[in-house]
Structure 1
Amino acid sequence: MQSTNSSTPAKTDDWSPVLIKIAKDRDRVAFGKLFDHFAPKIKSYGMMLRSQHTSPQMAEELVQDVMLKVWLKAHCFDVSKASASTWIFTIARNCRTDFIRKANRTDTELSADDLWPMAEEEGPYTSLHQRRIEKNIHSAVAQLPPEQADVLKRIYIEGKSHSEVAAATGLPLGTVKSRVRLAVGKLRTLL
């Protein structure tokens, strides 16, 4: 038995007037009804034809992308060419194809853990290399003027801010920043 509520179209083809109203009046209430009706159908469509790139998250993203395009392009809908549901599902098909293409281009998802080596993966050569780098850095810092080395140690080793170093040393903030800049510049040439 079909609903007698006149605010919700009973048949899919009856969505055309709603879509036209959205295009003309930018009616958010009408769009909400359209969204509530089509979102679950688009999500199901997104999950159909399971592929390696189809996931519930991708289906949700598809719904959002399609419905945003429906809102933005509602003025392009022509009732003489297609029903509202046909027009919306054409957008859904095109968006789904775009999602799959994009997924094929970026087959591998990377995380920060993939880019930075784990501490437990360090072998004897890695720790030897790390010790050499540390030795070179300490040697270079030892060649800095004492006031620059002091400011660098407070900021980079003790983790203090420029303002905290200025307050602790009684130096103007600009002097602290200048010493850091000069020290870093000299370290670049030494390393």
Structure 2
Amino acid sequence: MPTRAYEITCSADLARLIEAVAATRDREAFTALFDYYAPRIKAVLMRSNMPAAAAEELAQEAMLTVWRKAEQFDRARAGASAWIFTIARNLRIDVARREQRSKLFDLESNEFLDAPPQPDEELDASERERRVRAALSHLTDDQLKVVRLSFFEGQAHGDIARELKIPLGTVKSRIRLAMNRLKDCLGDLT
């Protein structure tokens, strides 16, 4: 594919074009590179299920990176095609990561949106609350104290024992007895 001053006949020509861009910002050399590689990059990206418009945009971004980083090209380390397609591949990976992060952020932000409760859910919740209150009334005062401190205030068993000035084993026994009584009263809710 000839362009004004440059004709590409082999891979050495491609490497020379990149080196010309690096050395003197040769616009004709870059135009030849762009004309040669942009359609190829776009085709490869489209084969990986990227939409045509996005593939074209990414191909242009890859070629812009070639323009900006041409001085980093080293023909001893990689051929021109390998170097340019690596740039395109890395840009594609960056796009995929951004899309993935965006999807994760959307999922996370949606977690905090509370949907209004449905009428049947409100009825179920109020019925459960009524039944739990009734079951709690079947506990002894001592059992109710340890249950409130443990489950409603989130205190550790050792802290409850110190606060109530009773042995740790007594706290655990009262909680176990209270749970058994609640389980008997609320069997179908547990």
TM-score of the aligned structures, taking structure 1 as reference length: 0.50
Return the alpha-carbon distance in structure 2 between the equivalents of residues 95 and 13 of structure 1: 25
Residues 19-58 of structure 1 correspond to what in structure 2 (within 5 A)? 19-50=18-49, 54-58=50-54
2:75 aligned with 1:79, yes or no?
Answer: yes
In the TM superposition, residue 6 of structure 1 has moved relative to its aligned partner by 7.7
Q: Could you tell me whether the CA contact under 8 Å between 1:13 and 1:85 is conserved in 2?
A: no
Residue 62 of structure 2 aligns with which residue? 66
Residue 11 of structure 1 aligns with which residue? 10
Read off the aligned partner of 2:24 and give its amino acid letter: D
Residue 115 of structure 1 aligns with which residue? none
- Which 5+ residue runs of structure 1 have no aligned equivalent? 111-191
Residue 97 of structure 2 aligns with which residue? 101
TM-score of the aligned structures, taking structure 2 as reference length: 0.50
Return the alpha-carbon distance in structure 2 between the equivalents of residues 13 and 62 of structure 1: 25
In the TM superposition, residue 10 of structure 1 has moved relative to its aligned partner by 1.1
SS in 1 for 2:74: coil
Read off the aligned partner of 2:56 and give its amino acid letter: E
Return the alpha-carbon distance in structure 1 between the equivalents of residues 75 and 39 of structure 2: 23
In the TM superposition, residue 80 of structure 1 has moved relative to its aligned partner by 0.7
Read off the aligned partner of 2:74 and give its amino acid letter: D
Identity over aligned pairs, percent: 41
In the TM superposition, residue 49 of structure 1 has moved relative to its aligned partner by 2.1
Q: Could you tell me whether the CA contact under 8 Å between 2:21 and 2:29 is conserved in 1?
A: yes
Deviations 1:115-170 (A, max 9, x none): xxxxxxxxxxxxxxxxxxxxxxxxxxxxxxxxxxxxxxxxxxxxxxxxxxxxxxxx
Return the alpha-carbon distance in structure 1 between the equivalents of residues 103 and 56 of structure 2: 19
Number of residue pairs matched by the alignment: 104
Specify the structure having the higher radius of gyration (Cα). 2
In the TM superposition, residue 8 of structure 1 has moved relative to its aligned partner by 1.1
Read off the aligned partner of 1:64 and give its amino acid letter: Q
Q: Could you tell me whether the CA contact under 8 Å between 2:5 and 2:28 is conserved in 1?
A: no
In the TM superposition, residue 12 of structure 1 has moved relative to its aligned partner by 3.4
Read off the aligned partner of 1:77 and give its amino acid letter: F
SS in 2 for 1:104: helix
